[in-house]
Amino acid sequence: MKKFLIIILACLLLVSCATTKYTANNTEDSEIFKTNGFLHADAIEIVENKELRKLFDKFNAMYFDDFLTVDYIGYVDAFLLQGKGNSYYFGGSAFWKVEDDEMVYGIAMTNRNDFKGANATTKYFNGVLIHEMTHLYFYQKAMYEEGHGENFRNKIDELYEINPQFEKVYD
């Protein structure tokens, strides 16, 4: 009986560790965003993360003159940011939705240690975050269909010229 209880406690500890892997340094705020069918998951819950919020705020001031708004920014499991058919991998994704007649914005990021099975360099991680922030920039400028086109790429280049703390991530 004692061994059984130890096994149960060990299992509970493992489950607890697994569920907190992406929530460390988080607040209790979270929001669920629909993925519109381009990811494996139908929806992603973004739990606000203080560390990412600070980085977002730093880059927002440096590159976007504090123009951007994000209501939720946090880490999610890398599997959730994998495209349909396992053919595409995303290190981050920007989300938006209308809720109570107001826009709600979110950015979901893969933890640095889970980028394509390897630890992402700081410059690459920063590049993915800047990439997602650039999506928000165009959306918040009412340029809803911008995608990864010429204007998007030019904006990434423009931001890089301000301060090249990031690797250029176009797609």
Residues of the chain with pLDDT under 50: 3-24
Confidence at residue 151, expressed as pLDDT on a 0 to 100 scale: 95
Q: Which residues pair with 42 in a beta bridge?
A: none
Which of 38, 139, 148, 154 is CA-nearest to residue 97?
Answer: 139
Which region, left, alpha or beta, applies to residue 142 given φ > 0 means left and ψ of -120 to 50 means alpha? left
- Per-residue pLDDT of 104-131, as tens digits, reads 999 999 887 777 656 678 899 999 999 9
Q: Buried b / exposed e across 84-104, counting CB within 10 Å, b at 16+?
A: eeeeeebbbbbbbeeeeeeeb
